[in-house]
Structure 1
């Protein structure tokens, strides 16, 4: 049986940090939406587990790869040894705040569950996904959601309709480094606040209000990478946009209202960019 699954990127329409937890993670509230930038995972029968990657030679193929970790967790939970050849076609930039690795892990769990006759319930898949990373449970479904806790608790909404300009400046950001260099932040933000500030104007297509309300506390990090990201933001402001860093960076995006902006300054910088839609 051959199975091909898309693995979408996400953006964070806002991210608020509520403080650091005793377990070392940060408590947060964030609003995420998938966009139409996809990696692709192909699953083929094999006599053993094999992973290959096309489109990025820097990704590890050993146990540190989230796809391999997902396969190992699936085996531990079900007792099924996945004998599949997984080919990852990588299009989502790595270390960009787009959740590419988390999305790949979620697609792997869904793919293995489909191939082996759905031995895991949705709840069990969510449990495994949360062990792999804070963003992984979101990618089991995708669309639009508020994530809270360390990001594994989710409240989903109907997907919205909007377009963005996404810019990848060519360098990755380390999520761990961004959080390690974050000053002490204790925001009093609840899920209901995220609904009022982001979800409501988004669903009602009140994009001016939405853009005014969007913020990302990780932009306050003293990480050298984030300082470079802020320079990218300034360039987007120069072409009339109100940009935001996605997740822990390094990608920056802006919601597009009406005419597409002149991207000549971005081309001069040599940055990768795409106009994308919410999915």
Structure 2
């Protein structure tokens, strides 16, 4: 955090995430699907900078980046960053504004959590520049009102030990879990995105994890803690993948491309449309990324977990 001519300024990175395992357990009485999932951050990040402004000033958001990442991203109250700051301002009784610059690198409608991560970074940065002495628990509670993934990112951005976490309920109940950083992955974002609500709507009871099945998510978490990619590969799953393929049959082409790249395991992240593969070494991941780019299945990135 640093002073500026107008007020304090804070700059934070907002990481993307992968769902290394996602089990749909059923639908609750509130209509929301109940999940068991393991999320972990990766080395793909947006950057958010907030400068506090004076009393009575509005919240102004500027979105920068490659057009493929910024197209269609609103800068008004429809953006989760603006909603996060307005909610924080109301809850804290703050009568100040903020100028926000958001550099987008995480694709939209990808299942990578970009909007939720940006909102979490906004909460943390604004709490600093507005000089709020709030606990992490209170910021997480505010985040839970914005979206199911936001509490995970509030923790992950504020504390490195939160960069992998088990989530249950709608995904809002978070428990940090140990992780071995640096495990290589390749992420592909097809040109077409998927709306989260549409994927959940397409989810059928046949996609739910059977009640007598072992807890695959805990098994993947235990393997991640010690960097055992073979064990991770054996247990990884995504209960939303069949629903996503029903909406977007072209995802099978992405799956087939990963089949040809020698990865240990591959699957959709979240509700998609981003797809990722797990690799034993970064060299293998980079070579696979080159092959996937040649197959023209989407934007491709070799990176690591953590």
* TM-score (norm. length: structure 1): 0.93
* Partner SS state of residue 51, structure 2: strand
Contact 2:179 2:227 in 1 (8 A): no
Of the three residues 234, 240, 244, the one matched with 2:267 is 244
Task: Give 1:54 deviation, angstroms.
Answer: 0.6
Of the three residues 147, 157, 168, the one matched with 2:177 is 157
Of the three residues 151, 161, 168, the one matched with 1:148 is 168
- Structure 1: distance between partners of 2:116 and 2:99: 19
Question: Within 5 A, what are the aligned runs for 1:168-183?
Answer: 168-183=189-204
Task: Give 1:44 deviation, angstroms.
Answer: 1.8
- Structure 1: distance between partners of 2:84 and 2:113: 15
**CA gap 1:214/1:189 in 2 versus in 1, 3 angstroms:** farther
Aligned to 2:3: none
Q: Which runs of 5+ in 2 are unaligned?
A: 1-7, 157-162
**CA gap 1:139/1:264 in 2 versus in 1, 3 angstroms:** same
Aligned to 1:208: 230
How many corresponding residue pairs?
A: 278
* Partner SS state of residue 155, structure 2: coil
Contact 2:189 2:298 in 1 (8 A): yes
Contact 1:30 1:194 in 2 (8 A): no
- Structure 1: distance between partners of 2:211 and 2:84: 32
Task: Give 1:229 deviation, angstroms.
Answer: 2.1
Task: Give 1:80 deviation, angstroms.
Answer: 0.7
Aligned to 1:228: 250
Aligned to 2:47: 40
Structure 1 stretch 109-118 or stretch 266-275: which is displaced more?
266-275
* 1:14 lines up with 2:34 in the alignment: no
| Cα offsets for 1:84-116 (capped at 9, x unmatched) | 100100000000000000000101110111112
* TM-score (norm. length: structure 2): 0.85
* 1:70 lines up with 2:84 in the alignment: yes
Structure 1 vs Structure 2 CA RMSD: 1.9
Aligned to 1:97: 111
- Structure 2: distance between partners of 1:206 and 1:21: 34
- Structure 2: distance between partners of 1:68 and 1:195: 33
Task: Give 1:193 deviation, angstroms.
Answer: 2.6
